[in-house]
Amino acid sequence: MPQAENAAADRVFGASRIVYTAHRTGGHLLLGQLGTGRPALTASYDADNIFAKILRGEIPCHKVYEDDNVIAFMDVMPQSAGHTLIVPKAASRNLLDADPAVLAAVVPLLQRIAVAAKEAFGADGVSMMQFNEAAGGQTVYHLHFHVIPRYEGVPLQAHGRGMEDPGVLAANAEKLRAALEATG
Ligand code: 5GP
């Protein structure tokens, strides 16, 4: 942005202008505030988080979908039958430091998986969830979205508690893969 335009933008947003900028430092992404020179706002991206390990193929998952930008797999501690996680491959800690282009690309896939999951599991509805930082309920620090099929009158299980039987997860992954293939 030319300097005059930049100065104008600064005047418009003033001291409350919060623009996240991600910059790499030794494999970690840090969040900062543009134009303030102040230190990072929150913690850095840790490439050893569990989803980064799944993305690198270092630990297994019950995969339902993968393309160049995204992977989707069953949550091992489902809050309802068919609980699926959609994980962009790009490294970001959560929504707060994500590249807007990554977010724009993932939304149509969220829709596609929600529609397929509703069909695959005979659900009555679907809840989408996404948590940011510990205070916001986040427990794994790589951006992800929860697609949670909902059933009339059935409350959600607690978040992140109670491992599902691997056989059930495998069967659910298979059902969802089939529904995704059927919807093209
Ligand atoms: P968050 O609280 O960060 O939004 O959600 C993290 C989710 O990841 C939780 O729902 C939790 O059950 C799930 N999870 C944690 N560890 C693993 C794992 O190793 N594999 C899979 N597939 N899901 C996991």
pLDDT tops 60 at residue 4 = no
Q: Whose CA is nearest to atom 17 of ligand 1?
A: 76
Residues 6+ apart with CB under 8 A from 109: 65, 70, 72, 86
Q: Residue 118 CA to chain centroid, in angstroms?
A: 19
Give 31 or 89, the one with higher predicted confidence. 89
3-class DSSP state of 153: coil
pLDDT tops 80 at residue 139 = yes
pLDDT tops 50 at residue 15 = no
pLDDT tops 50 at residue 116 = yes
Report whether residue 75 contacts ligand 1, using a CB cutoff of 6 Å.
Answer: yes
Cα angle, residue 74 at apex, residues 155 and 132 outer, rounded to 5°: 70
Q: Is the model's pTM score more than 0.85?
A: no
The full set of domains in the chain, from first to last, is 3-33 (no CATH), 50-183 (3.30.428.10)
User: Range with the lowest mean pLDDT among 18-27, 110-119, 122-131, 157-166?
Assistant: 18-27
Test site for ligand 1: of 50, 133, 164, most ligand atoms within 8 A of the Cβ = 50
C-alpha 136 to ligand 1 mean position (Å): 15
For residue 181, the one-letter residue type is E
Report whether residue 131 contacts ligand 1, using a CB cutoff of 6 Å.
Answer: yes
What letter does residue 163 receive in the DSSP assignment? P
First to last CA, the chain: 41
For residue 166, the one-letter residue type is P
C-alpha 75 to ligand 1 mean position (Å): 6
Give percent helix, percent strand, percent coil of the chain, each to the nearest 5.
35, 20, 45
Residue 57 and residue 72 in contact, taking contact as beta carbons nearer than 8 Å: no
Write out pLDDT tens, residues 147-179. 999 999 999 998 877 899 999 999 999 999 999
C-alpha 35 to ligand 1 mean position (Å): 35
Which among 164, 148, 166 is positioned nearest to 156, based on CA atoms? Answer: 148
Write out pLDDT tens, residues 19-78. 333 333 333 444 443 333 322 336 889 999 999 999 999 999 999 999 999 999 999 999
Catalytic annotation present for 23: no
Report whether residue 102 contacts ligand 1, using a CB cutoff of 6 Å.
Answer: no
Average pLDDT over residues 6-31: 34
Which among 136, 27, 139 is positioned nearest to 76, based on CA atoms? Answer: 139
3-class DSSP state of 43: coil
Q: Say what the pLDDT of residue 161 is.
A: 78
Q: Say what the pLDDT of residue 42 is.
A: 60
